[in-house]
A and B are shown apart, each in its own frame.
Chain A
Amino acid sequence: MPTKRIRLIEIAHARSGDKGDAGNVGVIAREERYYPILVQQLTADAVKQHFEGICFGPVDRYELPNLGALNFILHNTLGGGGTVSLKNDAQGKTLSSAILRMEIDIDEALLSA
């Protein structure tokens, strides 16, 4: 089946925030049929690799099939966390946008369904 390389933002949306020095990134499939793609391609390793140079700790992944969503915890990511961090985005609010830049492979048929 022919596949197409797309940015995650085409099939998902997201929200992120802080939990101490960790960032939380929730990724939500725009359509139910895209959720299996997220499960398959957004592995903890793939997300860790995407955030190289931003996330300096492990990445935990949790599945919420009921919401068609994944939740990621990016440890050691916010420069010490909320009040300590010198980062402009000390609360990790834009990690949501950053994850949506990930490139993934998707069946063309699924995309146009």
Chain B
Amino acid sequence: MNKTIRIASGQGFWGDLIDAPYHQVTRGPVDYVMMDFLAEVTMSIMQKQKLRNPELGYARDLPGQLSRMLPHIVEKNIKVITNGGGVNPLACRDAIFREAEKQGIKGLKIGVVVGDDILENIDALLAQGIELRNMESGEAFSSIRDRIVSANVYFGAFPIVEALRQGAQIIITGRTTDTGLTLAPMIHEFGWAADDWDKLAAGTVAGHILECGGQSSGGNFLGDWKSVPDLAHIGFPIAEAHPDGTVYITKHENTGGLVSEATVKEQLLYEIGDPTEYITPDCIADFTSIRLQQDGENRVRVYDVKGRPLTPFYKVSASYHDGYSAIGTLTYAWPDALEKAQAADGILRTRLSDLGLEFEEIRSEFVGHNSCFGPLAYVPKEINEVVLRIGVRGKNKDHVARFGQELAPLILTGPPSVTGFAGGRPKPSDVIAYWPALMPKTAVTPQVIVEEN
């Protein structure tokens, strides 16, 4: 079997380059486009949007993006797989069907994967003895039960494979792993078995390389960032997948950016823990087995990946309300810019203390001096300007609001040469915290719904 498929990365997060997936389907040959929208906290934002409007709760960029892609994907039979359905994948599908109808496109098959959203079933799950204990801190779920905002299971590639098998051209999921979006078409096209661990691991590694969009094709590349050509027109990465699990990472011709062993290595190391066990719902991939080889310009071969059997657990990502925070800034200019900012910080802290306000944390950083490097920052002889960035977090919303009122007065009652307060008073915003847990795979079942307009 000599078949290969080209899977293009179209989106690395909710807020990424809007036109990237359009360019992937118009600037060269691809068979699939994967679009990752979900970070750990994205679901909580979407859950809040759905509370305000039951028709929302998905990546709102997505219907517009797909609308523009539709004529091209229909003509070229390109399939699109995305987890942008968020907490309302069915509403997302309906919005895409409406876009298709506007263009007179009929017979479009959209698959939806649901069942990952366990917010409504939490009590039933707890009653079954599923603890949902925090897998990092070990804390009991009861400590956050009444403050929960969202709770989703991470599904893997196989529900998407089922939707592909049923002929779906577009597949919208909720909380599916980023890597599953890329692995699924390989399983579907190459007929990989559900226990062919090395191949599933190879597809998972390809998924990890694609899931952050331009971050593997020259974006955010620390190795030698000045050597990356034409980032303005960066080509997002494409995985050319082979049935034996070998994958070539490349990008469309005549696009900017860079695909090299070094850019791919940086992405492989991004947000991983123990490299010998990269755990997904589909398999465990061993990142210490990955071999890379430059195979011409902007083309890297990824091969020899080893995998191990999957675990009996799904990861659960829950979020809960955890108080309020506010952050404000003031800019101080030479002379003595840093000393002035530090003095202003001291004055403000004294006033907050005099008022008896209580916070869990007050954090002051001096942007231009140490907000990235903390104690590692060098103290320069002279500094032109520095931004005092001060934030508070606490359970009492009124106290957080009062902090916001105390910042601006520093302009007329603190050190001189201060500016940069155009944004108004910082307002308290909800703090949404993240709660990772595990649950047995037997406790929840993904459902696949494929419909045609």
Q: A28-B266, A83-B44 given. 6 additional CB < 8 A pairs? A: A15-B266, A19-B271, A20-B436, A24-B270, A80-B361, A88-B365
One of B4-12, B388-396, B437-445 at the interface: B388-396
Known: A17-B270, A82-B41, A97-B372. Is A66-B363 also a contact (CB below 8 A)?
Answer: no
B223 CB to nearest A CB, Å: 4
| CB atoms of B431 and A83 under 8 A apart | yes
Report the Cα distance A67→B293, complex, angstroms: 10
Interface centre among A60, A62, A101 (most CB of B within 10 A): A62
| Tally of chain A residues near chain B (CB < 8 A) | 44
Report the Cα distance A83→B272, complex, angstroms: 19
Set B222, B268, B361, B372: member contacting A67, Cβ < 8 A: B268
Report the Cα distance A87→B327, complex, angstroms: 10
Q: Is B267 located at the chain interface by the 8 A CB criterion?
A: yes
Q: Is B155 located at the chain interface by the 8 A CB criterion?
A: no
| CB atoms of A19 and B223 under 8 A apart | no
| CB atoms of A28 and B265 under 8 A apart | yes
Report the Cα distance A66→B393, complex, angstroms: 43
B 265-282 to A, binary, CB cutoff 8 A, 1 in contact else 0 = 111111111111000000
Q: Collect the chain B residues with CB atoms within 8 Å of residue A18's CB.
A: 271
Report the Cα distance A52→B224, complex, angstroms: 27
A27 CB to nearest B CB, Å: 8
Known: A15-B270, A64-B288. Is A84-B393 also a contact (CB below 8 A)?
Answer: yes
B237 CB to nearest A CB, Å: 15
Taking CB atoms and an 8 Å cut-off, the chain B residues in 269-315 that contact chain A are 269-276, 287-292
| CB atoms of A84 and B436 under 8 A apart | no
Known: A19-B271, A88-B372. Is A97-B222 also a contact (CB below 8 A)?
Answer: yes
Taking CB atoms and an 8 Å cut-off, the chain B residues in 31-79 that contact chain A are 39-41, 44
A55 CB to nearest B CB, Å: 10
| CB atoms of B433 and A84 under 8 A apart | yes
Q: Collect the chain A residues with CB atoms within 8 Å of residue B392's CB.
A: 86
Q: Collect the chain B residues with CB atoms within 8 Å of residue A69's CB.
A: 265, 269
Q: Is B453 located at the chain interface by the 8 A CB criterion?
A: no
Report the Cα distance A53→B391, complex, angstroms: 19
B332 CB to nearest A CB, Å: 16
| CB atoms of B374 and A53 under 8 A apart | yes
| CB atoms of B222 and A64 under 8 A apart | no
Q: Collect the chain A residues with CB atoms within 8 Å of residue B289's CB.
A: 66
Q: Collect the chain A residues with CB atoms within 8 Å of residue B41's CB.
A: 82-83
| CB atoms of B262 and A13 under 8 A apart | yes
Q: Collect the chain B residues with CB atoms within 8 Å of residue A60's CB.
A: 274
A 1-42 to B, binary, CB cutoff 8 A, 1 in contact else 0 = 000000000000111011110001010101000000000000
| CB atoms of A24 and B431 under 8 A apart | no
B 241-276 to A, binary, CB cutoff 8 A, 1 in contact else 0 = 000000000000000000000100111111111111
B271 CB to nearest A CB, Å: 4
Q: Is A111 located at the chain interface by the 8 A CB criterion?
A: no
Residue of A nearest to B373 (CB): A98
| CB atoms of B376 and A98 under 8 A apart | yes
Q: Is A89 located at the chain interface by the 8 A CB criterion?
A: yes
Please name 10 pairs of A and B residues whose Cβ atoms are closer than 8 Å in the assembled complex, sorted by A: A17-B270, A20-B434, A24-B272, A26-B266, A28-B266, A52-B375, A71-B269, A83-B44, A84-B322, A98-B372
Q: Collect the chain B residues with CB atoms within 8 Å of residue A62's CB.
A: 273-276
Residue of A nearest to B271 (CB): A17
B226 CB to nearest A CB, Å: 13
B101 CB to nearest A CB, Å: 38
Known: A18-B271, A86-B392, A88-B371. Is A28-B262 also a contact (CB below 8 A)?
Answer: yes
A-B pairs with the 7 shortest C-beta distances?
A26-B269, A86-B391, A53-B375, A88-B371, A13-B223, A17-B271, A94-B372
A22 CB to nearest B CB, Å: 8
| CB atoms of B292 and A67 under 8 A apart | yes
Q: Is A73 located at the chain interface by the 8 A CB criterion?
A: yes
Q: Is B367 located at the chain interface by the 8 A CB criterion?
A: yes
Set A13, A19, A20, A54: member contacting B376, Cβ < 8 A: A54
Report the Cα distance A66→B292, complex, angstroms: 8
Report the Cα distance A52→B375, complex, angstroms: 8
| CB atoms of B434 and A82 under 8 A apart | yes
| CB atoms of A84 and B363 under 8 A apart | no
| CB atoms of A86 and B327 under 8 A apart | yes
B53 CB to nearest A CB, Å: 22
| CB atoms of B222 and A15 under 8 A apart | yes
Q: Collect the chain B residues with CB atoms within 8 Å of residue A67's CB.
A: 265, 268-269, 287, 290, 292
Q: Is B120 located at the chain interface by the 8 A CB criterion?
A: no
Report the Cα distance A29→B391, complex, angstroms: 37
Residue of B nearest to A51 (CB): B376
B250 CB to nearest A CB, Å: 19
Known: A66-B290, A66-B291, A67-B292. Is A86-B265 also a contact (CB below 8 A)?
Answer: no
Taking CB atoms and an 8 Å cut-off, the chain B residues in 347-393 that contact chain A are 361, 363, 365, 367, 371-376, 389, 391-393
Q: Collect the chain A residues with CB atoms within 8 Å of residue B373's CB.
A: 94, 97-98, 101
